[in-house]
Each structure stands twice: as C-alpha cells, then as structure tokens.
Amino acid sequence: MADDREIAEIFKRESGRAVATLVRRFGDIDVAEEAVQEAFVEAVRRWPEAGAPPSPAGWIITTAKNRAIDRLRREGLRDDRQTEAVRLLDHDEPEGIEIVEDDQLRLIFTCCHPALAVTAQVALTLRLIAGLQTEEIARAFLVSETTMAQRLVRAKRKIKAANIPYRIPGDAELPNRLKPVLAVIYLVYNEGHLATAGDHLIRHDVADEAVRLARLLADLMPDEPEVIGLLALLLLTESRQQARTGTAGELIRLPDQDRTLWDRSLIDEGQELVRICLRRNHPGPYQVQAAIAAVHSDARTAADTDWSQIVTLYDQLLQFATSPIVKLNRAIALAETGKVSDALATIDRLDLGDYHLFHATRGDMLERLGRADEAAAAYATAAELTANTAEKTHLRNREQQALGFAG
Amino acid sequence: MSQYLMSVYYVEGEEPLPDEIMQEMYADTDALNKKMQEAGAWVFGGGLHTPDTATVVRSEDGEFLTTDGPFPEAKEQIGGFWIIEAENLDAALDWASQATVACRAPVEIRPFQDEPAV
C-alpha cells in the first residue's frame, strides 16, 4: 500500500532524477517534465490499490519514458534527436547509477547556466532538481504563481532557443561554472533561513530544500572542496536554527543564543566536513565561512569563543571577497580579542552608513571605550534604520543604557 | 548545430579609441576571423559604418517612407557583427569571449530561429 503522502514523498525524492534522465533521452525539458508528472499521476491512481512497485524510482522512469514516447509518436516526431531517442528506447536497458548521477549533474549545470538570470536559475533548480511545484516556489519567493510560472516558461524557452547545453563543464571551465551553482543553493538557503517576510514555516521548508540540494551536490561532486565547504556551512548554520528565534518569533543573535538548543549531530557532521576541507588545503570562500561557523560551534558559551582564530579566518576570507560586510564582521571579532580601538578605527573607514548593524556595532564599541554620548547617538541611528520592531526596541534600550552609564 | 548572431556594441558619443589601439583591434579581429574560418564556425561577419550612415525604410499604406539615421533611438549601437555556427551556447560563448577581447567592446550573442520546416 502507498498513500498520497508517501507518493508525494517519493515524488520529491525521485522526480529530479527521473526528469534529468528523460532530458538526456529526449533532449527537451518540457517533454521530460510532463512525462514525469504523468507517471506520478499514474502512480497516484494505481499504487494505493496495487501497492508501490519494488523499485518506485525505476517504475517512474520507465513509465515516464513510455509516456514521452507515446506523446512524441502522437505528435509526429519533431526532430532527428527525438526520433533517435525513440529508436534507442525500443532496445531499452535500465539506467546505471553513474549515468543517472551524471544526468543530474548535467541538469544542475543547465539550470545554473550563467546565461540565465539568477532568479531563473533559482526557479529552475527548485523546480527541476528539487522537484518543487511551481506554486511552492512562488510562495517561498513571495511572488504570484503566475509570475513564477512565466519565469519558468521564459527560462526554458531560452534554454531551448539559445541551445544551452546539457553537459558537465570541463575541468578548465569548472571553477567558474560551479560558482553560480553554489550561489543558487546558498541563496535558496538564505531565503528560507532569514525569512524576513512571509510565513516562516513555509520559508523554512525552502532552507531544508537548500540543504538537500547541497547534500546532493556533495554526493555528485565529492572531490570539489567548495561543494563540501558549502554543505558544511549550511549544516553548521542550520544547527542553530532552534536557537535563532525566541518565543515571539524574534531574532536571537549568536552571543545570546541558548547553545543547548544547537543540534549536536548537525554540528558534528559540519565540523567533520570542515576538517576534510582543511586536510585538502584548497581553501575557498564557502570553506572559510564554514570554518568560522565551526569555531563558533566549538564554543560552549559565547565567552569561550576563540576570537583570534576567527579574526585569522576573516583575514583569509577577505582574500576571496573584499566586501565591507566581511570587514565589519572581522572588526567585530577583533574587538572581541580586546583590540576595541583598532576595531573601531577599521569600521569607521567602511562605507556602510545605510546598514543598521554598522551603527549598532559602532555603538557597542564606543560604549566599551567609555564614549557614552557617541554610543547613544550610534544606537539611535541604528534604531532609525531598522524596520524590525523587536530590533528597534532592543536598540532603543541600548541607547538608554548608554546614556544611563553616562549620567 | 545552432547559428548565432554575435553583435559588437559600442556607446555612441564615447571617446574613440586611440589610433594605435584601433590598429591592434583590427589585427586581433582579423586573426579571430581566420581562426573562426579554420574552425568552420564563421558564416559571415563584418564591421559597419557609423549609425549616421544608416537609412530606415517603412511601408505605410502602400507608400514607402524613407528616413535618415538608425532605427533604434539608443546610445548603444551595433558596430559590427558575426554570424557563427556553434554546437551549443557554451561553444558560442567561447567565441564571444574571444570576440569581446579582440574588439575591446561588449558582445551580444543571440540565437537564430530554426529554419521553418518546408
């Protein structure tokens, strides 16, 4: 017996692989997607009565292939490639696991091709690789289902018209082609993880999808250090999920989190991956960020944090990306090692005047240096700049405290 | 195989490149043309005169209307183009990267529609 919920689970797990295999066989994403959808419709009709077949994934792929052939024959075969696909399928053999894995990797690189806009890359990846419904993707990114459907149609049309290939990039291109793939997964994770708007629960499902995609990519490309680095970063960030929000849904910052709520098994897994990366010694931005997260996760209390190690890691991160936010974070770590005036001198040179955390951080440092009036002013500016009510209240309190010490 | 239009853009009114660089550009473009021809990717290509040499023709109610100047009212104008044949977009983008270096200008790649079945 298999009920609808189980079939939905199987769909999420297997549809990506089935679509990838059919795209290779038929050279057409729409044909592949539609056939896989039809195969699942068939499963919903049959399995509850007859029970799921011994290999549900195999059954789905075979049924989808037959559906695709039926369709192509019905419509009259449109081009040589499809004729060839059907001819080959007449002597069909089951797909080997390596072939299926390569298919998925090919499709990932197609979805995240740099010729597609990032929004299109994200939508295609969630739809074709993660097997999400258009409506689910639309909800996660707070756009209407129609908008998301149009985005997908347009992206698929470009893939077809411009002949964006279905291939794994060669070694020489790989570093550059891998970047958008990693960026898409990271962006999907942050979209769910930060959940600045919308239904938090729905959005957190998207973070789960990102972790699942990162795991898939790590399975498919176990020798790519940045792929492992990204997975480690997501696992270590995810380990703090329970501690990140208070009972009223407010954001709790790292130093104030109840660390007993951190997920130990995710930390262990993430830290093990960081160790693997360190042994390989081909650092990259995701690996270094994962290492920073790993140092935090080592500390039983915020005071136990090895800040000088974190400063060193931020220096390394700055070699890959000189972003003012990274510099701000490095300054925060530096202040924690006791060098507060050095840290303040650094951040005063940053062009982050519109960013509330810049002012909040300045306020904190000024306060530690005993410059109470300036600290209060910085907190006030930070409070002006944030839209988040809980954060505003918190910053106003800090402002008052700073003034209190002054008086 | 797909065919692509590879257009070289420049911004009208921008300071023209110094003569020496222009000569280098012509030499590099020439070398790229040869390379494309040897690889069987070259279908057609050439540089265009400036947009003020363009003429637009329209047909309205059976009458032809001829106006001076380019059709797009944009700062960005095509300075030249290639038509290339490539296995897929990745192969076309590889030619485009070489073209943007040779021409010292941004290059747009746009696929041709398949020929309609007769």
In this predicted structure, what is the pLDDT of residue A389?
A: 77
Q: Which residue of B has its CA nearest to A159?
A: B89
CB contact under 8 A, A167 and B90: yes
Mutation pick from A28, A79, A110, A163 vs chain B, by most beta carbons of B within 10 Å, is A163
Mutation pick from B5, B6, B89 vs chain A, by most beta carbons of A within 10 Å, is B89
CA atoms within 13 A on the CB side of A93: 3
Chain A nearest CA to B1, separation (Å) = 9
Closest CA to B1 of B83, B93, B82, B85: B85
CB contact under 8 A, B2 and A162: yes
CB contact under 8 A, B87 and A165: yes
A153 within 8 A of A127, measured Cβ to Cβ: no
B110 within 8 A of B7, measured Cβ to Cβ: yes
Give the C-alpha separation, A7 to A205, whole Å: 18
In this predicted structure, what is the pLDDT of residue A407?
A: 41
CB contact under 8 A, B89 and A165: yes
In this predicted structure, what is the pLDDT of residue A406?
A: 46
A168 vs B contacts (CB less than 8 Å): none
pTM of the model: 0.86
Token readout for A65 is 């292939």
Q: Is A368 exposed, middle or buried (0-12, 13-18, 19+ CB in 10 A)?
A: middle
Instruction: Compare CB distances from A164 to B4, B88, B110 and report the shortest one's residue.
Output: B88
Helix (H) / strand (E) containing A39 = helix A29-50
Give the C-alpha separation, A335 to A342, whole Å: 8
Token readout for A401 is 């405290």
Residue B107 three-state SS: strand
Closest CA to A336 of A278, A295, A275, A288: A295
Mutation pick from B4, B6, B90 vs chain A, by most beta carbons of A within 10 Å, is B90
B89 vs A contacts (CB less than 8 Å): 113, 115, 162-165
CB contact under 8 A, B111 and A164: no
| Distances A90 to A57, A69, A83, A84, A94 between C-alpha atoms, Å | 20, 10, 11, 10, 12
In this predicted structure, what is the pLDDT of residue A200?
A: 58
In this predicted structure, what is the pLDDT of residue B54?
A: 92
Helix (H) / strand (E) containing A52 = none
In this predicted structure, what is the pLDDT of residue A83?
A: 65
pLDDT in tens, chain A (407 residues): 567 788 888 888 889 999 999 999 898 999 999 999 999 999 999 988 888 888 888 899 999 999 999 888 888 766 666 666 666 665 556 666 677 788 999 999 999 999 999 999 999 999 999 988 899 899 888 899 999 999 999 999 999 999 999 999 998 889 889 999 999 999 999 887 765 445 555 567 788 889 999 999 999 999 999 999 999 999 999 999 889 888 877 778 888 899 999 999 999 999 999 999 999 999 999 999 999 999 999 999 999 999 999 999 999 999 998 889 999 999 999 999 999 999 999 999 999 999 999 999 999 999 999 999 999 999 999 999 987 777 888 899 999 999 885 44
Computed over every residue of chain B, the mean pLDDT equals 93
ipTM of this predicted complex?
0.88
